[in-house]
Amino acid sequence: MNNKELVLKIIELVGGESNIQHATNCMTRLRLKIKDYNKVKMDELKSLDGVMGVVEDETLQIVVGPGKAQKLALILKENVTLTKEMGASEDWESNKQKIKQNQKQSKLKKGLRTIGEIFIPLIPAIIAAGILNGFAGVITNLQSTGSLPANEFWNITRLILSLIGGAFLGYFTIFTGINAAKQFGATEGLGGMVGAMTVMTQIDEISQLLGLFNVDSPLNSTLRAGKGGIIGVIIGVFILAQIEKRVRKVVPDVLDLIVTPVVTLLLVTLLMLFIIMPISGFVSDGLIYVLELLVSSEIPAVSIISGYILSAIFLPMVLLGLHHGLIPIYAVQLETFGGVSLFPVLAMAGAGQVGAAIAIYFKAKRAGNNKLQQIISGALPAGVLGIGEPLIYGVTLPLGKPFITAGLGAGFGGAYVMLSKVLAGAWGPSGLAAIPLMQSGSMLNYILGLLISYIGGFIITYLFIKEQDVVSLR
């Protein structure tokens, strides 16, 4: 079926247009906010052709794959009238269910999810910027070794590629400020201004006048341009939203358009300069210090242990909704080091699932479980390309033990990747699809890490899973 037919079938299986309150998408999932989960035909939805998996969370997340998720979301919005808030006509049972669903989410999970939502819309730009900057770097390296001539064609090509990449990465804080404003309910333009001001040179001049600038070591200044990075931007925009709402309440309507943004920005700027940027800068510096100890350690044993543990526990973190908190760490690494070392390590977790699924396939074949073999055969290609949900929710997690053994196997690949100091120019899909995201000197070691994770996940799962363990999953 084509995309429109798939969307119409999804609408039918989730209880119809009236049961969809809100719709959006991330990189691989169509996310629907459902009014009444009792109307959702979950089994039929999971088995629908074109649906790779379904995750029941605060939103109903339908896994359809990268690229397709956005297309389906656009088609759905064209065919369904959505409302952000539930109307008074809803019955009390729906409201009760909504309250209960919200109660299940801890403040920590909600906070991390909000942070994730700030960066999810930026992922396509992050990927494009990382890949194009990577190509520009390859051209530079080849020119420096004489493998490519430093002629006009290659110089212009390099500059165009770095221009596109820099258009995003050079103004990362602005994009972060705009998206943070969307999430916190502030005016988006003001959020972008908060992000922009953190990297402007006037901050250095203000810092020098106040005696807060360290001329001998500018990076150690109490206040400087870029201090606090995106952590400071997110905190600043959150406070911006609170101040803007309170100012708007007391300002007369006729003056709102003029007074509210001016007063709000003045107050937030003072807070950014004297409180938020210095404090968030201290936090960022501490985070960088920890990352250098664990992720960029010169001690091989530390790299091996930290790489193994991070890869092994990543998917449980995903299940608990804690992985959203890692995105600011990716961004801090990208801003500070010019590359992300944590993402390639965590990408090994999906490769461990692939290895485990292959081992289960052989066990299922011996046990005569044809249905499980079919599920694995259909999900493996997606898993190899970095879309792990079909394998996780269709195979390893329902069986229980393979979900654990897959993580244990993935740890070996993570240890190797960490030890090899693999760096990515961006983050996005994992698996083979992430190879273009790796910096030029890291691609081979990333591929070797994947192979190690495949083998590790396969061996540990094959040793610890018995044929009788796979008989029940039909």
State how far the Cα of 149 lies from the Cα of 157, in Å rounded to an integer.
12
C-alpha distances in Å from residue 423, one per residue of 402, 428, 440, 460: 29, 13, 9, 27
Name the band, by pLDDT with cuts 50, 70 and 90, for residue 320: low
pLDDT 10s digits, 286-311: 877 777 777 777 788 988 999 999 99
Name the band, by pLDDT with cuts 50, 70 and 90, for residue 99: very low
* More confident position, 459 or 318: 459
Backbone angles phi, psi at 328, to 5 degrees: -60, -30
pLDDT of residue 260: 92
Question: Which residue in 134, 118, 122 sits closest to 27, CA to CA?
Answer: 122
* More confident position, 324 or 21: 21
Q: Specify whether 19 is catalytic.
A: no
Q: How far is CA 306 from the centre of its chain?
A: 21
User: What is the DSSP-derived secondary structure letter of residue 424?
Assistant: B
pLDDT 10s digits, 408-446: 999 999 999 999 999 998 887 788 888 888 987 889 999
pLDDT of residue 324: 67
Question: Which residue in 97, 102, 85, 77 sits closest to 23, CA to CA?
Answer: 77
Q: Quick count: other Cβ atoms within 10 Å of Cβ 249?
A: 8
- Domains located in the chain, CATH noted: 3-104 (3.30.1360.60), 171-294 (no CATH), 300-470 (no CATH)
**Annotated catalytic residue, options 11, 14, 23, 26:** 26
State how far the Cα of 148 lies from the Cα of 140, in Å rounded to an integer.
9
| Contact between 239 and 204 (Cβ < 8 Å) | no
pTM: 0.69
pLDDT of residue 240: 96
One-character DSSP codes across 434-466: GGGGB-TTTHHHHHHHHHHHHHHHHHHHHHH--
